[in-house]
Chain A
Amino acid sequence: MSRFLEFGAPAAAAVVAVLAYNFGDRFVTPMPELPDRSEAIAKYTAPPPSPLMAAVAEGHAEGRYGLGRPATPDEIAAWDVNVMPDGRGLPPGSGSVEDGEVLFADNCAVCHGDFAEGVDRWPPLAGGIGTLTEERPHKTVGSYWPYLSTAWDYVHRSMPFGAAQTLSPDEVYAIVAYILYSNDLVDSDFVLSDENFLDVEMPNANGFIVDDRPETEYPLFRREPCMSGCKDGPVEVTMRAVVLDVTPEQAEARQARETQAATGDEAGAVEAPAAAEETALQEAAVEAPSGAQPETGGVVIDPALAAAGEKVFRKCQSCHQVGEGAKNRSGPHLSGIVGRPVAAAEGFRYSAEMKAMGEAGEVWTPERLARFLADPKGDVKGTKMSFRGLNKPEDIAAVIAYLAQFQ
């Protein structure tokens, strides 16, 4: 952040002095086997770019090493681009949700999904508000990130993946505006700028405490270690990694186990508790909490199609819940959606258009759903669902079959 940069007074004589020191000294011990070193040094034989050389020379006189050279204002501006939580470091600019949606589709959706719901193991950016205490918290920009500056800074500095630092400030404002919109934090006509940046309220801004292990843990664990009779024995196995079988390169080991089992040499197999099975892979992933599996249950209509639909539904689940205990999130809950009257989820604030359809007696039949899912905004203008729709008819059929299980 160049905001901190201050300049010393120019002092031409000192500049000459430091040049003599720096470069004279470098050549005291020639290193012929390192030609590129000479090349690197040659870059500095240009006149010093800043009067700060004076300070370096002075520093050497004061007992510092006098090594390095002053950073120029342009160099600092090029590299010092991070943004502080209070907005310091933000460049002037602005971008709309509308522009952001297009930019997001072009630059971000391949990994993060059209609606920022996350594809495969890539991070979802939207949804999950209110899930942090749940068994499977859904951590996104909306549900978890405490500062908007972080999102702006990261998109600007490090995204898109594989093409970092290619987005202009206005494009970054637009993409961040769209991420906010996808989290239901701003309206569709919102424009984010350096001027209103701090007005955006992040839902989890107060969700963090400074490391409290010194108070909550260290007093408990700084103790005399128990050496005998520390618990009731003999112990029993309560959970086994082998049951999950998610360790890489286990094929041969599995074969070996089967061979072993066939010879009756299995050493007291212990049934894993159901909880072990629930230790879903993605739940324990280092940091990619990719889409949790939807609940299963209810009557399977066409198992193969419904199973395919479960995968398609990952695009939906950052906003929609379905199954037992499903609640309204960014979108209404979808339990019983097939055959349900339009705009009938209790407590959900539907768009005016959806409400009108419901009042007109329309019902979400499979055919009606298929039409909507193919082109949500074209079908129901004004819908709050900004998902861009499913392109493939087979995906639409699958997700409807999946949803039909939950009545």
Chain B
Amino acid sequence: MADGFDSRHGGQGASRRAFLKGSVAAVGGAAAVAAGAAAAAEGDPLILEVQEWASGLGDGVDAVPYGMPIRFESDVIRRHVEWLTADPRSSVNFTPIHALDGTITPQGCAFERHHSGAIELSKQDYRLMINGLVERPLVFTYWDLERFPRENHVYFCECAANTGMEWKGAQLNGAQFTHGMIHNMEYTGVPLRILLEEAGVKPEGSWIYVEGHDASSNGRSIPMEKALDDVLVAFKANGEALRKEHGYPVRLVVPGWEGNMWVKWLRRVEVTDGPVESREETSKYTDLLANGIARKWTWVMDAKSVITSPSPQSPILHGPGPLVITGLAWSGHGAITRVDVSLDGGVSWQQARLAQPGQPKALTRFYLEIDWDGSEMFLQSRAMDETGYVQPTKDELRAIRGTNSIYHNNGIQTWWVKPNGEAENVEVS
């Protein structure tokens, strides 16, 4: 797909343009999709005629030893925004959340954020050092880590700058671009607490400093309380090894906290008596307020949600009638307890259906099934978490922070869905 838009009804090679042409040609009546299903009076050739796949043979096993998505899904890929950054080695791309469902993000399309490129580091070359204010400075190999007790947890990882391009107004036209710096995986790893206990934290050790093997090092300081709570030293995601771009062979998982702290290619954990105040926690990942003062240590990702479909990259192709509105909600403070959806830009709201009860610090899928009358909608979603926090509007955040804080924009998103099914990123009164 050249243009990155949905191809549900054109098969491979179709485009949004084709869709739009189709809908324009069939204004107010049967859309292209309906025409396909109705077919000729005598019936659908796909049913009436014996198809090649119903007669011949498909691929044998091992045709692809490690399977990839079928070619018809080739538009469900990560994308980046070229003008955002100076160099792809210090850049970010976005998860195609508009085209996914459920909650688990496949590793192959989970967003990437590198500060000096994704490095290739083998298990045999991997070392993890724990030093600083510990009784026993230690070095672990990858296989040492596999011998500690493991845990499995599903957590979201959201870049602090997710939605950061929208502070001054609606800018990027697609859920992938406005909200795609997030993924959600099932991690397997060793609680950092166990490794710290192995090294023996001295009483004066109140913080840790974690850094990666890559040139950026991406060092971050984390209070000991969090380090001993739920931080994982992870080596598997969704059941298989981490991907190179996500820190193979070992990354840190810091549940509920901004993605920058989830150090990839984890190389060292230093127990310290204070924060290091590294580049990534002073010049970056601090939130400048309108009064010129900046917040630091804004680690927790507040409750947030977005409707993934319909959305600009996932327009309504079927015309009026039954419509599934769906999206994602999450909170770094705990579980999502409720999501509301508005069709009129926030004047009135109705409760959406959670696909499953919310899990702490993990994505929650919600659905709202409606009978769409074909009129324009201003779709919004609003998450609520177990602390009672209700996702605020963007203007409420701006009133407190101004528009230059870059990070932690968890305001309510609006999609303007037009009668032809197209959707656009807008802000409303």
Q: Interface on A for B, CB 8 Å cutoff? A: 1, 4-5, 8, 26, 36-37, 39-40, 52, 55-56, 59, 64-65, 67-71, 75-76, 79-80, 82-85, 111, 120-122, 132-133, 137, 139, 141, 144-147, 149-150, 153-154, 157-158, 161-162, 164-165, 207-213, 216-218, 220-223, 225-242, 244, 246-253, 255-257, 259-260, 263, 265, 267-268, 275-276, 278-279, 281-288, 290
Assess whether B171 is in contact with A241, with CB atoms less than 8 Å apart. yes
Which residue from A158, A241, A290 sits with its C-beta under 8 Å from B425? A241
Partner of B346, one of A80, A145, A161, A231: A231
Is B320's beta carbon under 8 Å from chain A? Answer: no
A232→B428 CA distance, assembly (Å): 11
CA distance A267 to B426 in the complex (A): 14
| Chain A residues within 8 Å of B298, by CB | 211, 213
Q: Which residues of B contact A (CB under 8 A)?
A: 2-5, 15-17, 20-21, 24, 27, 79-87, 89-90, 92, 115-116, 122-124, 129-141, 143-144, 147-148, 161, 164-174, 177, 194, 197-198, 200, 209, 211, 215-217, 219, 267-268, 270-272, 274-279, 282-284, 286, 288, 290-300, 302, 312, 338, 340, 344-350, 376, 378, 382, 384, 387-392, 396, 400, 404, 406, 416, 418-420, 422, 424-429
**Cβ distance B202 to chain A, nearest Cβ, rounded Å:** 8
Given contacts A37-B124, A210-B296, A248-B79, contact A286 B161 (CB under 8 A): yes
Contact (A75, B129) CB under 8 Å given A68-B138, A279-B169, A285-B84: yes
Q: Is the CB of B418 within 8 A of A237?
A: no
Complex CA–CA separation, A237 to B376 (angstroms): 12
Given contacts A139-B283, A150-B277, 16 further A-B contacts (CB under 8 A): A37-B143, A52-B136, A84-B272, A84-B274, A137-B288, A154-B279, A162-B89, A208-B286, A208-B295, A231-B347, A236-B429, A241-B172, A253-B3, A256-B16, A256-B21, A286-B92
Residues of B within 8 A of A236 (CB): 428-429
Most buried by B among A36, A221, A267: A221
- Which residues of A lie under 8 Å from residue B140 when comparing CB positions? 67-68
| Chain B hits for A165, CB < 8 A | 215
Bound form: Cα–Cα A282–B423 in Å: 25
| Residue in A closest to B20 when the chains form the complex, CB atoms | A256
Contact partners of A234 in chain B: CB under 8 A: 344-345, 347
Main secondary structure of the interface of A (DSSP, over half): loop
Among B131, B215, B288, B392, contact of A71 (Cβ-Cβ < 8 Å): B131
Q: Tell me whether B16 and A76 are in contact (CB under 8 A).
A: no
Contacts of B378 in A (CB 8 A): 235
Given A70-B139, A210-B295, A231-B347, do A237 and B302 touch, yes or no (CB 8 Å)?
no
Please state if B3 and A252 are interface contacts (CB–CB under 8 Å): yes
Cα(A65)–Cα(B130), bound, Å? 15
Q: Is A71 in contact with B129, judged by CB distance below 8 angstroms? A: yes
Inter-chain contact A246/B172, CB cutoff 8 Å: yes
Min Cβ gap B16→A in Å is 6
Contact between A213 and B293, CB atoms less than 8 A apart: no
A82-B278, A233-B345 are contacts. A221–B129 as well, Cβ < 8 Å? no
B295 touches A150 (CB 8 A): no
B-chain residues with CB within 8 Å of residue A230 when the two chains form the complex: 346-349
Question: In the complex, are the beta carbons of B174 and A247 less than 8 A apart?
Answer: yes
Report the Cα distance A195→B276, complex, angstroms.
Answer: 19
| Smallest CB separation, B144 vs chain A (Å) | 5
Please determine whether A286 and B20 come into contact, CB atoms closer than 8 angstroms.
Answer: no
Name A150's contact: one of B89, B168, B279, B346 (CB within 8 Å): B279
- Residue pair B282, A217 in contact (C-beta under 8 Å): no
A225 and B21 form a contact (CB under 8 A): no
> Could you tell me the distance between the alpha carbons of A265 and B302 in the complex, rounded to whole angstroms?
40
Least distance between B147 CB and chain A CB atoms (Å): 5
Could you show 6 A-B contacts with beta carbons less than 8 Å apart? A121-B84, A139-B288, A211-B296, A275-B168, A276-B169, A286-B406
CB pair A286 B165 closer than 8 Å: yes
A235 with B392: CB separation less than 8 A: no
**Is B426 touching A284 in the complex (CB atoms < 8 A)?**
no
Q: Does A265 lie within 8 Å of B420, measured CB to CB?
A: yes
CB pair B170 A241 closer than 8 Å: yes
Check B427–A253 contact: CB distance below 8 A.
Answer: no
Would A284 and B274 be within 8 Å (CB), given that A5-B131, A132-B292, A265-B24 are in contact? no
For the complex of A and B, list the 9 residue pairs with the smallest distance between their C-beta atoms, beginning with the closest: A235-B345, A121-B86, A252-B3, A241-B425, A233-B347, A164-B215, A132-B292, A235-B428, A71-B137
